[in-house]
Structures are given as C-alpha cells and as structure tokens.
Homo-oligomer: A and B are copies of this chain.
C-alpha cells in the first residue's frame, strides 16, 4: 500500500477510536508506522490529512453513485434520480467521521465537505435532468442550476449539524422541494414523491441520534 493511503488509513483508525481531535502529527505517523518526516512529505499539517481523508471517503460515495447511474443508463430520468438518492443515502460516511465533522472545531472541514459533495454530485444530477429533457419527460432550460438548487436544499438546509430539525420539518421541506421541482420541470404531480418517501425513511435514524 502506498504511504499516502497508509497515512489516511491511520487517520481514519484514530478517528474511529475517538482520538482524531487530540492526535498530533507524531501520533498519526506512529499509527501509520512511518516517520514524522515521511508524513510531512505528503501533508503539510494534520488538517490537510483530515481534508484528504474526508475527500477520499466522500469520493468513494460519489463513485458508487456514478457507477449506479452508469449501470442504469436506459431507465427513465425519474427512476435514475430515485436510484441516485437511494444510493447516496445508503452509502453515507461512517458515523465516527460524520460526528467528527459536526463538531464545532471542525466546521471548516465540514463546510468543505458540503461544498465537495455539492460540486461532485451536481454534474451527475444535471446529467439526469438533461436525460429527462431528451426523453421529453422534463422541460428545463437550466439543468445545471436545477441540480445545484436541489442539492443545496438537501445538503445544506437538511443538515442536522447546522439547523435544529424535526422529522416534521424535514418532511415538509422535502414536500415543498418536490412540488417546486414538479412545477419547474413540468413533471406530473407526485412524480417526485420519492424525495420525501425515501429520504425520511433513511433519515429518521440520523435525526434520532444525539
């Protein structure tokens, strides 16, 4: 295994043990079984190790999402969106990383992770919307921007680390989003119901955690 990967694995192990906050660069190097100088060859600080780890973990999810859509190129756009949402929600980062990102001290990395998810998922969602336009299922002049709006609402306004949310609030926001998209994309009433049906089922446990 490459040294860079070993360092990221070491950081991940420290995170799972709950030591990520207090770990020094020396601790990370020890865990990886390399010299401190070796770590500095790849990363300038503990923060950049964390940044890279977060990016690696999210990149895995994005890649799973992309593969799921590529394996189902021929299904209709609504089914693709549904598949994407389910794949994304079923492959979230592990709980240790998630709770670490929601700690106040890690707000900068958390913000970067939200921006990363949004920036990398946007082209996938936008491609699906365009697919729907080509199939005459949707009407849309702004596929990229619609993708951005959809993801902004899901990623930002439903982040339980930023806002205090109840299940009722989440469901109402998703119903409103579904209604907006149905109107904006000229899609039949109820065609985006998978947004709140699926999301809330999967989201319930997240919200119930402290």
Contact = CB atoms under 8 A, between A and B. Distances in A.
A14 to B, nearest CB: 21
Nearest to A145: B176
A153 B184 CA distance: 16
Interface in A154-190: 156-157, 162-163, 172-173, 175-177, 179-181, 183-184
Contacts of A141: 176, 179
Contacts of A176: 141-142, 145-146, 148-149
A90 to B, nearest CB: 24
27 contacts: A105-B108, A107-B107, A107-B108, A107-B110, A108-B108, A110-B111, A111-B162, A114-B162, A115-B162, A119-B163, A141-B176, A142-B175, A142-B176, A142-B179, A145-B172, A145-B176, A148-B157, A148-B176, A149-B149, A149-B173, A149-B176, A152-B152, A152-B153, A152-B156, A180-B180, A180-B184, A183-B183
Interface of A: 104-105, 107-108, 110-111, 114-115, 118-119, 141-142, 144-146, 148-149, 152-153, 156-157, 162-163, 172-173, 175-177, 179-181, 183-184
